[in-house]
Amino acid sequence: MSKAVYPGSFDPISYGHIDLARRGLRIFGELTVAVARDTSKATLFPAEERVDMAAEVFKDTPGVTVTSYKGMTVDYVRSIGANVMLRGIRTVSDFEYEFQMALTNRHFADDLEAMFMMTSNKYSFLSSRFIKEVVALGGDVSAFVPPQVEKRLQEKLARRSS
C-alpha cells in the first residue's frame, strides 16, 4: 500500500488545501500533511503556527497526520517510509511549476512518485497569497479559510499594523 505525503508551505492552510487533502485521503486512506519549514517563500506565519493551524483543521479527521520537516521534501518523504507526494493543480500555470518540481525531485529520488489532483472548481482560484492580500486590505476571507485560521490572520495583521 502506498503511503502519501501532502507537502507545502500552508501559509496559511485554506479550504483549497483541505479539499485536496480530503480527495487524497479517498485514495490513500492515510495522508501526512507536511509543512515545509524551509521554504523559498517569505512566510507570514512561522512554521509552528502553520503546523498548529493545519493540526487544528484535521484534528478530527482519521487518517490525516500533520507534521513539519526541514530540508528536501524527497528526503523527508523517504524518512517516513512514504513513496508518494501529493500536490494540487489549480491552473495551467500550476502545471508548469509542478512539472518542473516533479522532474527535479525525480532526479534525486526516482523511487518516489508525484501525484497530482485537481481541486474542486469551487476553490480553484484560491491561493494563500491572495488570501493574505485580502485580509491585509480589510476583506472578508471566511469563504476561503476556516474560522480559526481567519482569526489568526486578523491577529497577525492587526499586530503588524499597530
Q: Which residues pair with 68 in a beta bridge?
A: 35
Beta strands in the chain (DSSP E): 4-8, 31-36, 64-69, 84-89, 113-118
For ligand ADP, the binding residues (CB under 6 A) are 8-10, 14, 16-17, 20, 39, 41, 87-88, 90, 94, 119, 123, 126-128
Closest-CA residue to 77 (of 149, 5, 27): 5
What region does 106 belong to: left with phi over 0, alpha with psi -120 to 50, or beta? Answer: alpha
Residue 47 and residue 8 in contact, taking contact as beta carbons nearer than 8 Å: no
Give the CA dihedral 146, 142, 46, 21, nearest 10 degrees. 40
CB of residue 162 to ligand ADP, shortest distance in Å: 27
Between 2 and 95, name the residue whose CB sits nearer to ligand ADP.
Answer: 95
CB of residue 9 to ligand ADP, shortest distance in Å: 4
CB of residue 18 to ligand ADP, shortest distance in Å: 9
Between 16 and 153, name the residue whose CB sits nearer to ligand ADP.
Answer: 16
CB of residue 60 to ligand ADP, shortest distance in Å: 21
Active site members: 17, 41, 90, 128
Give the CB-nearest residue to ligand ADP: 16
Between 121 and 162, name the residue whose CB sits nearer to ligand ADP.
Answer: 121
- CA pair distance 103, 74, nearest whole angstrom: 12
Q: Which helix (H) or strand (E) holds 56?
A: helix 47-57
Between 83 and 161, name the residue whose CB sits nearer to ligand ADP.
Answer: 83
